[in-house]
């Protein structure tokens, strides 16, 4: 068999968002499969051949990748059992541009090509690869715009004094998304400040606060690493301690 006509193992993936009509003798998944098989048959001179495994997701949304048949397809791709993935339309594989980009990256990493039967989308040729690169550029643009929106939202919330999550500093509580002073913890904070300024040693401070029975924000005894690195207790190294 020549290099041109080497065997191309084709996996057909089908999907339908709802289970309605799946009990019919010939349903939407069957129709997708017939169209894909016909396309593969038209490429038989190139060595294309349908593999026997079925990858059919009936009643699963295309909004995420958590689909049993798709997960099985991904496993088989990683196991080098597939050369080309064939679908009826691109949205059968995914309705999310971000997820589609992730799948294409997986395909590329395992030298797997991708074909959409009804949309002339075929990454086995140069035009298909160009179209793919355009789609992936839009996916990258979408990710960057989403990141900018999140950052802008965080900045706007911080300017309003809203707490945006993460470990709450010792000496404070979060009330209605704002930091408020925890009077019961203030004495502990001031004591640790003063002891550190006096002793200049985290180990010695740790012994003193252990004897006094002080605990951290999580209700546990302090550890040296917490005083050195924990974001709750990092105040020991603040330059504005006075």
Domain residue spans in the chain? 8-126, 172-237
Which residue, chain included where needed, has tokens 């949304």? 61
Q: How far apart are CA 241 and CA 197, in angstroms?
A: 8
The 10s digit of each residue's pLDDT in 128-160 is: 777 767 766 765 676 677 778 878 777 777 777
- Model confidence pLDDT, tens digit, residues 64-84: 899 999 999 999 999 999 999
pTM (2 d.p.): 0.54
Give pLDDT tens digits for 92-134: 888 787 788 889 889 989 999 999 898 767 777 777 777 767 7
- HSE, side-chain direction, 13 A CA sphere, residue 6: 4
The token pair that represents 198 in the structure block: 């006096």
Q: Measured in whole angstroms, how far is the alpha carbon of residue 205 from the centre of its chain?
A: 42
Q: Which of 13, 34, 30, 8 is nearest to 21 (CA)?
A: 30
| Pick among 3.40.50.880, 3.40.50.300, 3.40.50.1390, 3.50.50.60: CATH of 8-126 | 3.40.50.1390
11-25: per-residue pLDDT in tens?
A: 999 999 888 777 776
* pLDDT tens-place string over residues 200-227: 888 888 888 888 788 877 777 877 776 6
SS3 sequence of the chain = CCCCCCCEEEEEEEEECCCCCCCCCCCHHHHHHHHHHHHHHHCHHHCEEECCCCEEEECCCCCCCCCHHHHHHHHHHHCCCCCEEEECCHHHHCCCHHHHHHHHHHHHHCCCEEEEHHHCEECCCHHHHHHHHHHHHHHHHHHHHHHHHHHHHHHHHHHCCCCCCCCCCCCEEEECCEEEECHHHHHHHHHHHHHHHHHCCHHHHHHHHHHCCCECCCCCECCHHHHHHCCCCHHHHCCCCC
């Amino acid at each position: 068999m020549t290099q041109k006509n080497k065997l191309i193992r084709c996996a057909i993936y089908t999907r339908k968002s709802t289970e309605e009509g799946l009990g019919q003798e010939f349903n939407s998944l069957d129709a997708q499969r017939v169209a894909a098989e016909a396309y593969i048959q038209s490429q038989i001179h190139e060595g294309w051949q349908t593999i026997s495994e079925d990858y059919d997701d009936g009643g699963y949304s295309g909004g995420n990748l958590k689909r049993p048949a798709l997960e099985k397809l991904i496993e088989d791709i990683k196991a080098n059992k597939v050369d080309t993935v064939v679908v009826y339309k691109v949205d059968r594989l995914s309705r999310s541009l971000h997820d589609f980009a992730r799948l294409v990256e997986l395909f590329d990493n395992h030298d797997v090509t991708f074909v959409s039967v009804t949309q002339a989308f075929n990454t086995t040729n140069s035009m298909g690869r160009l179209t793919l690169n355009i789609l992936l550029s839009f996916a990258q643009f979408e990710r960057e715009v989403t990141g900018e929106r999140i950052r802008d939202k965080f900045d706007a919330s911080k300017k309003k004094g809203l707490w945006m999550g993460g470990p709450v500093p010792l000496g404070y509580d979060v009330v209605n998304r704002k930091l408020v002073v925890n009077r019961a913890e203030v004495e502990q904070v001031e004591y640790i400040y003063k002891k550190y300024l006096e002793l200049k040693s985290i180990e010695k401070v740790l012994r003193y606060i252990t004897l006094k029975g002080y605990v951290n924000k999580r209700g546990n005894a302090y550890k040296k690493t917490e005083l050195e690195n924990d974001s709750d207790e990092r105040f020991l190294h603040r330059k504005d301690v006075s």
